[in-house]
Structure 1
Amino acid sequence: MTAPRNDLPSSVPRPDGELEQLERVWRTPRGLRFLTTVNNTSIGLLYIGTALLFFLLAGILGLMIRAQLALPDSSLLSPGVYNQVFTMHGTVMMFLFAIPVVEAISVFLLPGMLGARDLPFPRLSAYAFWAYAAGGIGFFVSLFAGLAPDGGWFMYPPLSGKEHSPGINADFWLLGIGFIEISAIAGAIELIVGILFTRAPGMTLRRMPVYAWAMLVIALMIVFAFPAIIAGTALLELERAYDWPFFIAARGGDPVLWQHLFWFFGHPEVYIIFLPAAGMVSTMIPSLVGARLVGHKAVVIALGAVGVVSFALWAHHMFTAGLSLWSSTLVSAASMTVAVPTAVQVFAWIATLWRGEVRFNAPMLFVLGFLFIFVLGGLTGVMVAVLPFDWQAHDSYFIVAHLHYVLIGGLVFPMFGALYYWLPLVNGHRLSERLARWVFGLMFAGMNLAFFPMHISGLLGMPRRVYTYSTEMGWDALNLASSIGAFILALGVLVFMVDAARTLRRPKRAHGNPWQAPTLEWLPAEDYATRSIADVRSREPLWDQPQLAGEVVAGAHWLPGTATGRRETIVTSPVQATPLYVQVLPGDSWWPFAGALGTAGFFLLLTVHMTLAAWLCGAVAIASVLAWMWQSDSLPGLAESRQARVADDVVLPVGATGMRSHSWWATIIMLVVDATIFASFLFAHIHTAMRLDVCPPPGNSLPATVWGWVVCGALAAGSMLMEWARRQSAHGWQRLAFALAAICMLGGVSAEVGSHVAAGLDPVTTAWGATVAAMLAYQGLHGVLLAILAVYLWLRSWCGRLTATNRATLDNCTLVWHYATLQGVALAAALRIISGS
């Protein structure tokens, strides 16, 4: 395969009307139809704006907390309202701001930085955003109705159980946060596939920007970390709704089980927040000082090392929860180890600053502020990793100070630096440098005044989560200083918002390259991204290929127009970025918007016990997803060869099937998430079983072994039928196979559930029975979803839509079917092995 010509633009004439057709295909809808847009630029800006809205709302709640604690014996907020406010402050900051803003910035930046027209699943990005926005706003509004959760952003049982939280406040947290995490996982799948498969030709992994590496690492972390919190929230909601005692000690449950599941997500989340910020810093510093990043390879390795080690740290928050000394010691050692790859990045940034010329502009000020604050937060993190010190400081305001130094220093300051750095991409205008100095000064001084005294008040014995305190404790001055600092910090944010609003109202113009940056997002771009997809030949293409911008604008590189008359991008190989095929991208659609509203409505209406309306919303969500799948699983009407010319002397196939398809790999990633959720349920069962003297406990038993063989046989038969259907070309035989496979799957699931019920399974009496019932219910959910997909495939076959080229859904559904079979077999085997049967 030959690369496109790299002649001067003037020597590469383009056909008349090519650019106009490209503009027409990618034009962003106006008016009410803007709700249908799926373009990464539009969705990314909406995403960023919504995340910043939640940042402001959570900040206001934080100011209410500091106003209450500014003086001793204050009664500004009642105890009940205070509990709701501090719970919502932490929840909104962590779940509705920190993670979403990380993904939002990447949705906006990554396609341009990678040289792609868009991310590979634009409708998935749109769905993830609208679900997050609708659900997040619905969740936040619960505060005004007095229904906001009040058990802390960590929701520890038994406080969050039905006995101590009888209302629906905790249900809002469990159901709301659960589906918001699903939205985050959808975004992570999009990012992994986009980074690995839609980089510009020639952008090998060695040439990929550090920010893209950081987002790849955190997307993989989300895939493995977030399923634990989804499983945990499902178990706690089942306990509250149906009295299944997963966390009730009197019936064999264990409140510490929740801490294991929560912090397996919660501590990696800290690094999921920090690593994208580190990637942004590694991308900004070379541009700001005019020097290449020192130790690029070491920085990339350090990003991966932090991601891996972070999963060994979940018990970092559980040193006082009664773990064995051996376990605590191992986690303590891992907590100190993670400081090593983090320090590698810090030293690389300092060395790059030393090598280049530091100019104290707005982005640089926030980068320097980040280095100071985050390093201080990291040092206190090493302190609380020391067991004797943590035993003294745990649940004191020292931990509050450490947490905010890490999160504000590790995310907020880099994010503000990134907003100053990349905002010209929106309308071509930079924010005010004069006001930026005020913003930075107020935020830096206010942040340190607000949170540094908390180290001292914590060491003096002030506990976390207190509603008020008496003047005899000696914390008055420290708390007053913290409250003043919080309002100074808020003033800095307010000045920034005013400046941003002023700047964004200015008329749009070409953004140019104001920082002389080396990365591709600074190429001239419109709705369709760049005029042609750049041919990348180095790690810093805009520095090493000075004519690149002009050549790309002239259409001298890859895919200068629309080869199929629709939106497209080029799919490249994961390592070497060799062009493989042209991917036809789905266009604007109402279906992601409708599906997202249906999903949000399902969870929120279930919370207020409007069951019928909730299930109607769930049906809308499923129907919308199936409708956009129906539209997307089609290729344009090209010639039989289905080839597209992407450069003067290069022709690529349109679309791919099987393992060569990007959607096949997205399905694999989704199944990894699925398997991790199941593994979390299985961990809950093992944790519960290990606390028993007799397993199964008295009154519970397992069905006869023969039922296990029946179940496995039925599931295997369904998988074989699906594989046979996948290889068939006759539609009649396909439809028969789909129907029989669905019968086998539902029969196998029914036999498994029925045999356990007949054997006396009781999910209410014991936690052991509850964990078994939860795993059976999860397998049953798979059976129902696969039955729906079987009907969908039957209809596509009946309409003649399952052909040799239009078969992505069939290939992917077959993968899901095989996974559900393996999960069912693993469930049957695990229950008997764990119980010694």
Structure 2
Amino acid sequence: MTARDDDLARLEDVWSTRRGWRFLSSVNNTNIGLLYIGTALLFFILAGVLGLLMRVQLAVPDNGFLGAETYNQVFTMHGSVMMFLFAIPIVEAIAVYLLPNMLGARDLPFPRLSAYAFWAYAIGGLAFFCTLFAGLAPDGGWFMYPPLTGLKYSPGLNADFWLLGIGFIEISAIAGAIELIVGILFTRAPGMTLGRMPVYAWAMLVVGVMIVFAFPAVIAGTALLELERAFDWPFFIADRGGDPLLWQHLFWFFGHPEVYIIFLPAAGMVSTIVPTLAGTPLVARRAIIAALVGVGVFSFGLWAHHMFTAGLGTLEMGFVSAASMAVAVPTAIQVFAWIATLWKGKVEANAPTLFLLGFMAIFVLGGLTGVMVAVIPFDWQVHDTYFVVAHFHYVLIGGMVFPVFAALYYWLPLVNGNRLSEGLARWVFGLMFVGFNVAFFPMHVTGLLGMPRRVYTYAADLGWNGLNMLSTVGAFTFALGVALFAWDAWRSLRRPERPVGNPWNAPTLEWLPSGDYGNRSIPRIDSIDPLWDRPELVREVEEGGHYLPRTATGARETIATSPVAAAPRYVLILPGDSWLPLIAAAGTAAFFLLLTVKLHVLAWICGVAAIAAVLGWMWQADRASTVADVDIGHGESIPVGATGTASHAWWAAIVMLVVDLSIFACFAFAYVHVTMRLTVCPPPGATLPSQDLALTSAGLLVLGSLLVWFATLAVGTRRLPWLVLAALGCVLASCAVDVGGLLDAGLDPTATAWGAGVAALASYQGLHVVTLAVLAPYLAARAWCGLLGERSRAALDTIALVWHMTTLQGIAGMLVVRLVPLLMA
């Protein structure tokens, strides 16, 4: 055996995938990505079946196929599963599968985080869906508007399953976003500058940032509504100072960016596929990247687009209306660039091309009706009609489902080398395209004729009969196309594996020969379209002629590069397969679901198991390598691992803390919102703790952060664990002062929404204190075991960041609670 063969054998051994039941412990992005995609497509089919049940019910007037209660559950689950269990997960799933190879990396930087995100989503999502069969499915609509979803009007557990069930799904999505942001910025192939990065990677980077800022709003909103239902804290009860519109602000601050969180990855796929199919570079590439960023920015100014009929002020509605129209400009830039690229090249009428053309036609129509409903007087007329149902299906199915199907036809050969049938693809596309338009285009007319949304039946003399029957026929036609695709995909995946090659003559790196270890060697990139500009790159990479042709440390590795220029910085050691992510995810899902059914003891046992599993994989991951610098090829040597701000783990912690700060900001907004409804603040009978207690609490928090800062300077000494534990004592004392002060002041969160807002901010600070109470002993234990050193201090650095954020949020919470009443005086 030659040295080159021996290097390859070692790579294959280190990265080999376990077989049989042990496959479930895999953390490799290829395996997790395929499981992720398959599960998301399963939920697409399940949600589609629910949609067909709705169409059967609405096919004829006065139908008794589904009763009102059952229809409400089916309606709610259809929307919730499509949005939370399919649309968002499928775009993250495809990114987990594609991005490492597309970026020239061996894997994403936190493989166990990806595995945890998938299993939390899969286990929790399936359990959530099964509530349908127990009659416990949520029935308040996928938007869950109070007061109808409050305890008074929804006394059962149905709404709680939605509120707590969505919780772990959002945790999964945020975990995936952190993984993608850090992976895109820090694990690109050397030489792949931001200017050379694939447009799809740009799209996923923008989407990851959007998730970080948008998803905290729905997390905060669901937490507040569950606190109201579980503990009678009246955030949304108008009689006690609450406001149902508060939910709409929080929900749509997440909900409208979510539309673009779904669309932008699809746009990135289109921008990647179109040049390949046209055989020419993408027209206006820089303008498309700028447009992606522009859409991401504009999307956060659109949340009240859904609230034009809610009684907002003229100025606010005018601003949102203008933003709703302006977002069409960067979107149009992308559409015109795709058309220009297709016009410039020579395109064949294959399966991906058909679905891309179908996407452009449907999405443009959806965009036009979007501009229509951005006009406030028109929106007042159609807001709660089937016109809006038609609009958002044109945007979401046209803007995401058709590009996803194009992507499946385009990238499925990566799995086992087999393409899907071109002959069947024409039938699939025809059935889906015709079925979709027959199903949803008539809904524009149905809505203009006055048919309201969210009704389970209608009278026979309203003039909607034929249109509804036509929509039902179209829905089943669309479903037949999906079923035909599923059969063809199952048939193709069962075929014997073949060499993948590059069947489309694509220019991007995911078509390089690869195995479980990714590429045989990590290439150096010097152009936007590397496989077109350097055809010899395929042979060079496969022969191990580039970076890391062997395992330098005996572990799984990739190269961490600088975020802008993609210069090699250090070798990033990746964790291997483990059962801990699966255990942690199962514990997380069980914690939320068992809390829902009031099995509190079992829920907390599962929660503790989840925390223990997470601490276990943190313990394993943060270890220094015995190797200093290693030769990575091209005559370059770089260190193994990094610490502080040079480390990818440090930046991942920063992203996580941005999420944390965003959630805090939403709680603070809720407090300010209910406070502004008061005539007198604090309301009669309510007081705050004395200023001296607040200053004492803030001083203890600052002292704790100072002690942690000293601990970061005491690495390798015996003082470190005692400094950390002393800091924990300060934080616990601060929490005790806060709780004692609130009790002495007689604050009653059940009396008014203002009191509930104060209690919510205090409770969020308490959650941080509990977190530090877990992390501080963990850090001390690592120090006592000799596992904290200058080259293995990631846990110390990241926990120090969490500690300082706890201090800042605690002080900020006190200031918000005390200053807002003064400003209103």
Q: Is TM > 0.5 for Structure 1 vs Structure 2? A: yes
Q: Distance in 1 between matches of 2:573 and 2:537?
A: 25
User: Secondary structure of 2:499's partner?
Assistant: coil
CA distance in 2, matches of 1:388, 1:423: 46
CA drift at 1:16: 5.0
In structure 1, the partner of 2:633 is 647
Q: Do residues 777 (structure 1) and 763 (structure 2) align? A: yes
Contact 1:209 1:283 (C-alpha < 8 Å) held by counterparts:
yes
1:511-660 equivalences in 2 (<5 Å): 511-638=500-627, 642-660=628-646
CA deviations 1:464-516 (Å, max 9, x no partner) are 01110011100000000000000000000000000000000011121100110
Q: What are the superposed Cα offsets for residues 698-725 of structure 1, whole Å, 9 maximum, x if unpaired?
A: 1111111111110111000100101101
CA contact (8 A) 1:427 1:504 kept: yes
> Match for 1:703: what amino acid?
P
Q: Distance in 2 between matches of 1:490 and 1:762?
A: 53
Structure 1: 5+ residue stretches without partners: 1-12
Equivalent position of 1:3 in the other structure = none
* Residue 372 (structure 2) pairs with residue 383 (structure 1): yes
Per-residue CA deviation, residues 286-345 of structure 1 (Å, 9 max, x unaligned), is: 000101100000000000000000000000000000101111010000000000000000
The whole-number CA distance in structure 2 between the counterparts of 1:510 and 1:814 is 48
On the 8 A contact 2:716/2:789 being kept in 1, the answer is no
**1:132-151 alignment to 2 at 5 Å?**
132-151=121-140
Look up the match of 1:345: 334
The code of the aligned residue for 1:232 comes to: G
Given that residues 200 and 536 in structure 1 are in contact (C-alpha distance below 8 angstroms), is that contact kept between their aligned partners in structure 2? yes
2:138 touches 2:158 (CA, 8 Å); kept in 1? yes
Partner amino acid for 1:470? Answer: A
Write the distance in 2 (CA, Å) between the matches of 1:121 and 1:733.
31
Q: Contact 2:220 / 2:663 at 8 angstroms: preserved in 1? A: yes
Q: What is the CA-CA distance between 1:227 and the residue it aligns to?
A: 0.2
- Check the 8 A contact 2:716/2:790 in 1, yes or no: no
Which residue in 1 is equivalent to 2:747?
761
Q: By how many angstroms is 1:600 displaced?
A: 0.3
The one of 652, 661, 683 equivalent to 1:697 is 683
Q: How does 1:421-500 map to 2 (within 5 A)?
A: 421-500=410-489
Q: Distance in 1 between matches of 2:370 and 2:85?
A: 24
Q: How many angstroms does 1:836 deviate by?
A: 1.1
Whole-angstrom CA distance in 1 between matches of 2:125 and 2:440: 27
Q: List runs of 5+ in structure 2 lacking aligned partners.
A: none
> Who is 1:749 aligned against?
735
Q: Helix, strand or coil for the counterpart of 1:128?
A: helix
**1:417 alignment partner AA:** A
CA contact (8 A) 2:76 2:142 kept: yes
Q: Give yes or no for contact 1:731–1:800 (8 Å, CA) kept in 2.
A: no
Structure 2 residue aligned with 1:256: 245
Question: Residue in 2 aligned with 1:728?
Answer: 714
What residue is the counterpart of 2:178 in the other structure?
A: 189
State the match for 1:820 in structure 2: 806
Question: Which amino acid counterpart does residue 571 of structure 1 have in structure 2?
Answer: A
Equivalence for 2:193: 204
User: Which of 810, 813, 833 is matched with 2:796 structurally?
Assistant: 810
Contact preservation (8 Å) 2:260, 2:296: yes
Aligned partners of 2:765 and 2:3: how far apart in 1?
Answer: 56
Residues 351-430 of structure 1 mapped to structure 2, 5 A cutoff: 351-430=340-419
Aligned ranges for residues 10-89 of structure 1 at < 5 Å? Answer: 15-89=4-78
Alpha-carbon contact 1:584-1:635 (below 8 Å) kept: no
Partner of 2:141: 152
Q: Distance in 1 between matches of 2:288 and 2:26?
A: 36
Q: Distance in 2 between matches of 1:73 and 1:501?
A: 40
Q: C-alpha distance in 1, partners of 2:48/2:104?
A: 36
* Aligned equivalents of 1:751, 1:304: Cα separation in 2: 45
Contact 1:731 1:798 in 2 (8 A): no
Residues of 2 paired with 1:469 and 1:268: CA distance?
33
- SS across alignment from 1:246: coil
2:750 aligned with 1:738, yes or no?
no
User: CA offsets, 1:383-418, max 9 Å, x none?
Assistant: 000000000000100000001000000000000000
Measure the CA separation in 2 of the matches of 1:546 and 1:225. 42
How far off its partner does 1:449 sit?
A: 0.1
Shift of 1:804: 1.1
Q: Which amino acid aligns with 2:680?
A: V
Instruction: Give CA-to-partner distance per residue, 1:247-283, whole Å, 9 cap, x none.
Output: 0000000000000000000000000000000000000
AA of the residue aligned to 1:340: V
| Partner in structure 2 of residue 294 of structure 1 | 283
* Partner Cα separation in structure 2 for residue 722 and residue 618 of structure 1: 27
User: TM-score, structure 2 length as denominator?
Assistant: 0.99
- Alignment partner, residue 309 of structure 1: 298
2:528 alignment partner, SS class? coil
Separation in structure 2 between the aligned mates of residue 446 and residue 695 of structure 1, nearest angstrom: 57
| Whole-angstrom distance in 2 between the partners of 1:265 and 1:182 | 14
Instruction: Tell me how many residue pairs correspond in the alignment.
Output: 822
Does the Cα contact within 8 Å between 1:248 and 1:254 map onto a contact in 2?
yes
Among candidates 658, 665, 674, match of residue 672 of structure 1: 658
Q: Distance in 1 between matches of 2:634 and 2:553?
A: 16
Distance in 2 (alpha carbons) for counterparts of 1:746 and 1:484: 63
Percent identical across equivalent pairs?
67
Secondary structure of the residue aligned to 1:456 is: helix
Mapped to 2, the partners of 1:45 and 1:382 lie a distance apart of 37
Once residues 544 and 219 of structure 1 are traced to their aligned partners in structure 2, the CA distance between those partners, rounded to angstroms, is 30
Partner AA of 1:257 in structure 2: L
Q: Is the 8 A contact 2:189 2:525 kept in 1?
A: yes
Asked if the contact 1:746/1:783 (under 8 Å) is kept, the reply is yes
- Once residues 296 and 288 of structure 2 are traced to their aligned partners in structure 1, the CA distance between those partners, rounded to angstroms, is 13
1:125-144 superposed Cα distances (whole Å, 9 cap, x missing partner): 00000000000000000000
Cα distance change on mapping 1:648 and 1:386 into 2, 3 Å: closer
1:183 aligned partner, one-letter code: S
Aligned to 1:10: none
**Once the 2 structures are TM-superposed, how far is the Cα of residue 754 of structure 1 from its aligned partner?**
1.8
User: Aligned-pair RMSD on alpha carbons?
Assistant: 0.8
Structure 1 residue matching 2:133: 3-state secondary structure: coil
Deviations 1:566-590 (A, max 9, x none): 0000000000000000000000001
Shift in Å at residue 96 of structure 1? 0.2
Cα separation, 2, equivalents of 1:122 and 1:753: 40
Aligned equivalents of 2:727, 2:674: Cα separation in 1: 35
Quote the Cα distance in structure 2 between the aligned partners of 1:529 and 1:284.
Answer: 21
* CA displacement 1:221-243 (0-9 Å, x = unmatched): 00000000000000000000000
Secondary structure in 2 aligned to 1:150?
A: coil
Cα distance in 2 for residues equivalent to 1:16 and 1:254: 68
- The whole-number CA distance in structure 1 between the counterparts of 2:414 and 2:715 is 49
Secondary structure of residue in 1 paired with 2:560: strand
Q: Output one character per residue of 1:15-53: Cα deviation in whole Å (capped at 9) or x when no partner.
A: 451110000000001111111100000000000000000
Q: Which residue of 2 aligns with 1:272?
A: 261
Matched, 1:91 2:95: no
* 2:519 match: secondary structure: coil
